[in-house]
Amino acid sequence: MSTIINGTDNTAATPALTGSDTDTGVFFPSANTMAFSTGGTEKMRVDSSGNVGIGTSSATSLLQVGSTSSSNNTLTVASANNTAAQINLLGDSSATVGMNVKYEGNGNFFAVSSNNAGSLTERMRIDSSGNVGIGTSSPSAKFHVAGSANNANIGVAYVQSSVTGDTANNGLSISKFDNNSTTSQIFVKFAIANFGAGSGQINANGANAAAFGSYSDSRLKENIVNLPSQLENITLLRPVEFDYIESEGGGHQIGFIAQEMQEVYPDAVGERSDGMLTVTGWNKTEARLVKAIQELKAELDTVKAELATLKA
């Protein structure tokens, strides 16, 4: 092939350096800038900063790929055997891989890995069913997050609304397609033993209401006996109102003291990761009801005592 150096013309249509095809070659649109054209149209440019633009003449990063047609792929990476392709994003000048994006044609999945102590660790995968897995290579739902919590107070997943004055905004929304407000409408399920055993759920509870539900079918239970009298235990409880300390968010509340509840109903008391005790299943409504029962019992005891005096 012959080579022509054109010293007079220097545009995409008439590049300075061409082969036998005079509208295809290399031209120099400005100082310290090199561009490549085919068929008289610029296709790639290297500017004075070393930025490479493909499909754009004004790259703003070391490599910028653009397309002027919605029907064209912006970037395609394929391996020699057409079964796998991957892109490595270098994290530093020592060529340590910061992130690896890989597509497996045979496995029909797309995975993103990150550098972990010099070796790649998969962090996210989209499988052939469209399931997205974070921390798992076998997502079993449209969105599946797995792994140990980095922060015991936050957990494995963290949803945060970070705008001041967002009281009326949802932190998390859950919507069901079926227009059903009976308690058979399930919003959230809870499980233990790696989802081997149920631990309750949140259900619809009639119009404009939701509530916690427990698994209560008689077929799920054994050793069923009547609950013994609880009146004495109820009278031992101490419903209180109090203010939380500032580090717990402050604010006035009604409830119980965990240490006192533990003496009467230890199964209702748990422990946070920092050792602080929690009370489950007894909220401010129960506290008010317990107080009312205690008041009624006190009145009944008074009436009984008066009747006993009259009989004497």
Q: What percentage of the chain has pLDDT greater than the value 90?
A: 63
Q: Give, for 288, the enclosing helix (H) or strand (E).
A: helix 284-311
Domain boundaries, the chain: 4-65, 84-145, 186-219, 227-312
Q: What is the mean pLDDT of the chain?
A: 88
The 10s digit of each residue's pLDDT in 39-70 is 999 999 999 999 999 989 999 989 998 866 65
53: buried, middle or exposed (CB in 10 Å: 19+, 13-18, 0-12)? Answer: buried
Give the least confident one: 105-119, 197-211, 225-239, 297-311.
105-119
What are the strands, taking DSSP E only, across 24-141?
Answer: 25-27, 34-38, 41-46, 52-54, 63-65, 84-90, 97-104, 109-116, 119-126, 132-134
Segments of 193-302 assigned E as strands: 197-204, 210-213, 240-243, 252-255, 269-271, 277-279
pTM of the predicted structure, to 2 decimals:
0.72
* Band (113; pLDDT cuts 50, 70, 90): confident
Q: Is 221 left (phi over 0), alpha (psi -120 to 50) or beta?
A: beta
Burial class for 291, CB neighbours closer than 10 Å (0-12, 13-18, 19+): middle
> What is the distance between the alpha carbons of residues 68 and 111, in angstroms, rounded to a whole number?
28
Mean pLDDT of 159-183: 93
Q: pLDDT tens, 212-264?
A: 999 999 999 999 999 999 999 999 999 999 999 999 999 999 999 999 999 99
The pLDDT score that the predictor gives to residue 69 is 62
pLDDT of residue 278: 97
Pairing assessment for the beta strands 63-65 and 84-90 based on DSSP bridges: unpaired
Residue with the larger pLDDT of the pair 175 and 89: 175
Work out the average pLDDT over 127-136: 92
**Rounded Cα gap, residues 196 and 42, in angstroms:** 61
Identify the bridge partners of residue 92 per DSSP, sorted by sequence position. Answer: none
| Token pair belonging to 188 | 């959230």
Q: Is the pLDDT of residue 9 over 70?
A: no
Cβ-based burial of 35 (10 A; exposed 0-12, middle 13-18, buried ≥19): buried
> How much of the chain exceeds pLDDT 70, in percent?
84
Number of H helices, E strands in the chain: 3, 20
Average pLDDT rounded to a whole number, residues 120-135: 89
